[in-house]
Amino acid sequence: MFGPFRASNVCQGGLLWKARMKMDLSRTQKTNIRKRLKAADDVVMKIQESGVQCNALTKLQAEPTQAQMPAKDKYTVFSRTFKGYRKSVHKVPHFTKVAVPRTAPNGF
């Protein structure tokens, strides 16, 4: 049907989400994730060197650094609702702006 009430791609089951469905991340995305993790590690290290003491800092010091993290924890996040209980980090809304947990529950 033509005109103002014609079916759109969304109505016909077309592209709904811009995030890729595959769990794979491109080489560039992985590099950027590693850069962000290293930058966060540097900030924690500099705060620690300055002598500031707080509960949040002690929790961050207990977390593994970027070099100590396995690839599974760098690029995926635990999720109860996903098959295999893991989802790719690019599926997390605003994953570049929010703190993504560096460790998963035991066994995942």
> Is residue 43, in this structure, part of any structural domain at all?
yes
31-89 pLDDT, tens digit per residue, is 999 999 999 999 999 999 999 999 999 999 999 999 999 999 999 999 999 888 998 89
> Is residue 19, in this structure, part of any structural domain at all?
no
Tokens 């077309």, residue located? 14
pLDDT of residue 14: 58
pTM, two decimal places: 0.75
Specify the number of domains making up the chain: 1
Q: Summarize the confidence of residues 19-32 as an average pLDDT.
A: 81
Domain that holds residue 48: 27-91
| Residues in CB range of 64: below 8 A, 6 or more apart | 73, 102, 103
DSSP states along 52-108: ---HHHHHHHHSPPTTTS-HHHHHEEE-TTSGGGEEEGGGSTTTTTS---SS--TT-
> Is residue 2, in this structure, part of any structural domain at all?
no
Beta strand pairing call for 76-78 and 86-88: antiparallel
Residue 10 pLDDT > 60:
no
Pick 73 or 17 by higher pLDDT: 73
